[in-house]
Structure 1
Amino acid sequence: MYLSDQRHIAHFDLDTFFVSVECLKDSRLKGKPVLVGGSGDRGIVASCSYEARRFGIHSAMPMKLARRLCPQAIIRQGDMESYSQYSRLVTEVIADSTPLFEKASIDEFYVDLTGMDKYFGSLQFTGNLKKKVVKESGLPISYALAGNKLISKVATNEGKPNAEMWVALGQEKNFLAPLSVAKMPGVGKETAFLLLKMGVETIKVLSEIPQEMLTNLLGKNGQSLWRKAQGLDETPVVPYHEQKSISTENTFQQDTIDIAFLHTQLVRMTERIAFQLRTENKLTGCVTVKLRYSNFDTVTKQKSIAFTAADHKLQKVVRELFDKLYERRMLVRLIGVRFTQLVPGNDQINMFEDTEHQVQLYQAIDSIKRQYGERLLMRGSGL
């Protein structure tokens, strides 16, 4: 067993989360090829069952191609409200049972069990926690226990579905050695292709490359990759605190009644905090617009929406709320936009409705903003 002063990190991952929730809602889906995502020809697969994966289907694949590979697949549009409810339920179970945990996404958790072997076995505790999640939520969940976050995550992915893995301390390099370099977190398609061209197919071979050579080849990412290949990772488990809102306000130097100007400001404000949402890997389920007249009367209006972080969807809601809110035709002193009901989420969730082109467009826009600053690129309607 572990020594009590060593790190114990458990990684939990809800198996095919969106599909599993759909199966709970409709038991007839169990054991069948199920796709969750945009149902149109230009839609994208956000998640798929293991039965569907046998046909070569994977997330982020165009739905048209997935339907061609598996014509008998059952398609579900996706229900973010249900997914969020189940995610909160699992979060509550883990929060009630563990001293320190991190919610890495809507369906992924890290639990720090360091020191718990002084009282009872970390491995036994992890297994019991899995049973409790399954009992309380009905959802299948995989886990792996290891000495750091890197190994626990890779082990979970290797063991899924229904993983129950344990990588003993000192066995990190041996565990990673036979795996493909493409399975190393942080290795994207381009880096994997480059390494494969060099004949580096396994993490064992990667670990044998001198650190200086990898640094010269890949820069800072090479240093990080070398440490990962050795099974080293000191990344801490970040305590989970649910953020309540993201907002912005603009008080004008001079009160205005210029509707076109106000619409332009709302576009810029919405675009700014929507980018913040995506940067923090979050989605919003409620939008509020605030307006303060020149006589300091302040009014607000809000609307619950399907969870999203997409500019074009949020801007439409913001403008709709503002147009309903602005009734007096008086000078305006301040306007504000606030996003609440925040949940962890990533680009895949937007695939329920967005086309492949839209997803790629947002990825390109955000990449430019992160590299050169968010003010460099904005919509024409915000100028």
Structure 2
Amino acid sequence: MFINHERHIAHLDLDAFFVSVECLKNSSLKGKPLIVGGSSDRGVVAACSYEARSFGIHSAMPVRLAKRLCPHAIILQGDMESYSNYSRLVTDIIRDSVPLFEKSSVDEFYVDLTGMDKYFGCCRFTTELRQKLMKESGLPVSYALASNKLISKVATNEVKPNGQIEIPFGSEKTYLAPLSVAKVPGIGKETAFLLLRMGVETVKVLSEIPVEMMQNLLGKNGIELWRRANGIDDTPVIPYHEQKSISTESTFQQDTIDVEFLRSQLVRMTEKIAFQLREQNKLTGCVTVKLRYSNFDTVTKQLSIPYSAADHTLLKAAKDLFEKLYERRMLVRLLGIRFTHLVPGNYQINLFEDTQEMIRLYQSIDHIKHRFGEGLLMRAKGLESMPSEIRHHPTFQRASIRDIRKG
């Protein structure tokens, strides 16, 4: 028998985040169909206002299709630096206000308020936190307070935009029952279509299917979906620590002053951990480059950047840092790069600055690396730092990213 422990978990969501930031910067945009995305017909929609959504527009849609659906929509290129700054501002406010929170994306947060009901009242506290966030950031915020992350996430989606709700402990199944199965996290289009063909339209019907049947139908995922349909979720709120990082460094066999070698090594290393970043569905907000000279003096430089997991963005930051850092023109013993200020998220966040071709390119590159190994596909510049006998091996020559796109 599964038991939901009485916890108090709030889910806070910045409504239509990119759009809200743009409206904050230019109040004349409020109430209009607004699209944040690529400005060319080959671009894609990164975010859209609720007014634009009423025309059937949604994220990841080609801009040319969005224009046909709503010819009078206002299209903005987007400003990732502003979005990142506002995300950090909200993070700082929450950090200063609560003892335990999880940043699940650039615009979503879980707050664990378990135990606070004895002293203050969780609903009252969350309401005041929401008001504080809106006052200090100027952005609209929705929240739901429930006994677990699953219910609070679903409920927040139901009360957006600019709403709040509390789902009392013990009423999880009752709340979920009338909702469409498509609103259960983890149920994608294919699974939803399969369930609908079976006549399973609501969460109530899904929750009544024997767990053994769900397991036979969908394997382990079937068990998890059964748990969610019954409002069961013991997932903890994972404390947010910006010091978590992904890094790599290389100590050379011989100290070197070959700048081109160092640059190519930096490209190879940056690509390597950028792929790891995307594999973990994370974005970085800070890049650090590290140099150790032959006399063992070690220097570092870091740069805060708009949240990203894109090679071309991270490579530019790494190269700029290296040029500023390498000023002694001494022999170098070690080179390293580190990504910090990590937040959950994926490459989709950069949609507004890329074409569909660019997005497909990254998806193809990651697919090849995932299948055959990350070392078999890299920018031509990165190959320059490989040993000659490896660099000229037919496998590496065929795998060079030069065949896909000049690096």
Name the TM tier (shorter chain): 0.7 to 0.9
Matches within 5 A, 1:175-186: 175-186=175-186
Looking at structure 2, the residues matched to 330 and 100 of structure 1 have their Cα atoms a distance apart, in angstroms, of: 46
Amino acid at match of 1:252: F
Matches within 5 A, 1:98-137: 98-137=98-137
Looking at structure 2, the residues matched to 153 and 307 of structure 1 have their Cα atoms a distance apart, in angstroms, of: 23
Give deviations 1:23-50, integer Å, cap 9, x for gaps: 1111101111111122111111111110
Pair 1:210–1:264, CA change in 2 (3 A) = farther
Aligned to 2:39: 39
Pair 1:321–1:103, CA change in 2 (3 A) = closer
Give deviations 1:53-79, integer Å, cap 9, x for gaps: 111011111112112211211122221
Indicate the larger mover: 292-301 or 9-18. Answer: 292-301
Looking at structure 2, the residues matched to 225 and 149 of structure 1 have their Cα atoms a distance apart, in angstroms, of: 15
Structure 1: give runs of 5+ residues left out of the alignment.
none
Task: Give the RMSD, CA atoms, in angstroms.
Answer: 2.8
Aligned identity (percent) is 74
Corresponding residue SS for 1:221? helix
Aligned to 1:265: 265
Looking at structure 2, the residues matched to 183 and 106 of structure 1 have their Cα atoms a distance apart, in angstroms, of: 21
Looking at structure 2, the residues matched to 322 and 237 of structure 1 have their Cα atoms a distance apart, in angstroms, of: 37
Indicate the larger mover: 208-217 or 6-15. Answer: 208-217
Structure 2: give runs of 5+ residues left out of the alignment.
384-407
Amino acid at match of 1:68: R
Deviation at 1:302, TM superposition (A): 5.8
Aligned to 2:94: 94
Aligned to 2:399: none
Deviation at 1:21, TM superposition (A): 0.9
Looking at structure 2, the residues matched to 236 and 303 of structure 1 have their Cα atoms a distance apart, in angstroms, of: 32
Corresponding residue SS for 2:162? coil
Contact 1:84-1:343 within 8 A present in 2 as well:
no
Looking at structure 2, the residues matched to 327 and 123 of structure 1 have their Cα atoms a distance apart, in angstroms, of: 55
Looking at structure 1, the residues matched to 289 and 89 of structure 2 have their Cα atoms a distance apart, in angstroms, of: 29
Aligned to 1:350: 350
Contact 2:242-2:341 within 8 A present in 1 as well:
no
Amino acid at match of 2:55: F
Looking at structure 2, the residues matched to 214 and 341 of structure 1 have their Cα atoms a distance apart, in angstroms, of: 39
Contact 1:47-1:58 within 8 A present in 2 as well:
yes
Normalization by structure 1: what TM-score? 0.87
Pair 1:300–1:310, CA change in 2 (3 A) = same
Give deviations 1:138-159, integer Å, cap 9, x for gaps: 1111011111100010010011
Contact 1:284-1:308 within 8 A present in 2 as well:
yes
Pair 1:131–1:65, CA change in 2 (3 A) = same
Aligned to 1:201: 201
Pair 1:229–1:370, CA change in 2 (3 A) = farther
Matches within 5 A, 1:118-157: 118-157=118-157
Amino acid at match of 2:339: F
Amino acid at match of 1:222: G
Looking at structure 2, the residues matched to 132 and 219 of structure 1 have their Cα atoms a distance apart, in angstroms, of: 44
Contact 2:6-2:147 within 8 A present in 1 as well:
yes
Indicate the larger mover: 60-69 or 306-315. Answer: 306-315
Amino acid at match of 1:187: I
Contact 2:264-2:381 within 8 A present in 1 as well:
yes
Aligned to 2:313: 313
Aligned to 1:50: 50
Contact 1:6-1:115 within 8 A present in 2 as well:
no
Looking at structure 2, the residues matched to 208 and 372 of structure 1 have their Cα atoms a distance apart, in angstroms, of: 43
Contact 1:101-1:239 within 8 A present in 2 as well:
yes
